[in-house]
């Protein structure tokens, strides 16, 4: 990450509230996935691994935040999504499939967009229930574990 971008993200995060920090995490995650896919296409395995590993750290942080929230259907859907995302990232590495990384990036960006709408709806409280329903619909059903075969 370039130092200018890092400085921008730090300053944005310092002034951000809950949604702002969440959006910044989704931005980071999407950037990791894009850079990992590009690295895979260049056959830069070291860079791909660094980017996917960082994405997994972000997913772990998001999962931890979700576990600390009060329950509810949305919380369960987010937890299932993060678990599915982690599996997809590992599968993308095993299969060396940048398409999987890009597909997950699009989902992350879609959810990020909905978080941003929720942030804006927070200032217009009458819009908040609509935004929550949209987020609920944006989160995909967890992908079933694929038929990856492992052998020693």
Q: Is 47 exposed, middle or buried (0-12, 13-18, 19+ CB in 10 A)?
A: middle
Please give the pLDDT value at position 11.
Answer: 47
Higher pLDDT, 82 or 118: 82
Compute the average pLDDT of residues 72-97: 94
Take residue 104 and report the two structure tokens written for it.
Answer: 């997950």
Please give the pLDDT value at position 19.
Answer: 87
Provide the 10 A C-beta neighbour count for residue 81.
23
Res. 8: pLDDT tops 50 = no
Res. 92: pLDDT tops 80 = yes
Q: What 8-state DSSP symbol labels residue 124? A: S
| Chain position carrying tokens 């896919």 | 37
Compute the average pLDDT of residues 18-35: 95
Q: Rounded distance, CA 41 to CA 43, Å?
A: 5
Domain boundaries, the chain: 3-138
Higher pLDDT, 67 or 8: 67
Of 2-6, 12-16, 76-80, highest mean pLDDT? 76-80
Q: Residue 68: CA atoms inside 13 Å, Cβ hemisphere, count?
A: 6
pLDDT band at 53 (very low <50, low <70, confident <90, very high): very high
Res. 152: pLDDT tops 60 = no
Residue 130's contacts (CB-CB under 8 Å, 6 or more residues apart) are: 121
pTM for the model? 0.78
Q: Rounded distance, CA 136 to CA 152, Å?
A: 40
Does the domain at residues 3-138 carry the CATH identifier 1.10.8.60?
Answer: no
Provide the 10 A C-beta neighbour count for residue 62.
19
Compute the average pLDDT of residues 36-57: 98
Compute the average pLDDT of residues 114-141: 73
Please give the pLDDT value at position 130.
Answer: 58
Higher pLDDT, 116 or 6: 116
The 3 state secondary structure assigned to 67-100 is: HHCCCCHHHHHHHHHHHHHHHHHHHHHHHCCHHH
Take residue 43 and report the two structure tokens written for it.
Answer: 């056959």
């Amino acid at each position: 990450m370039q130092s200018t971008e890092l400085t921008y993200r730090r300053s944005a995060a310092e002034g951000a509230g809950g949604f702002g920090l969440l959006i910044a995490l989704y931005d980071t995650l999407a950037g990791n996935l894009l850079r990992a896919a590009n690295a895979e296409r260049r056959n830069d395995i070291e860079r791909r691994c660094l980017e996917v590993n960082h994405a997994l750290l972000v997913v772990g942080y998001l999962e931890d935040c979700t576990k600390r929230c009060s329950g509810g259907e949305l919380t369960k859907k987010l937890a299932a999504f993060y678990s599915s995302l982690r599996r997809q990232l590992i599968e993308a590495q095993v299969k060396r499939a940048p398409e999987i990384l890009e597909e997950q990036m699009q989902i992350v960006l879609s959810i990020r967009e909905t978080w941003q709408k929720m942030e804006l709806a927070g200032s217009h409280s009458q819009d908040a229930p609509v935004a929550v329903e949209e987020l609920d619909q944006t989160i995909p059903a967890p992908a079933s574990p694929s038929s990856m075969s492992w052998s020693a």
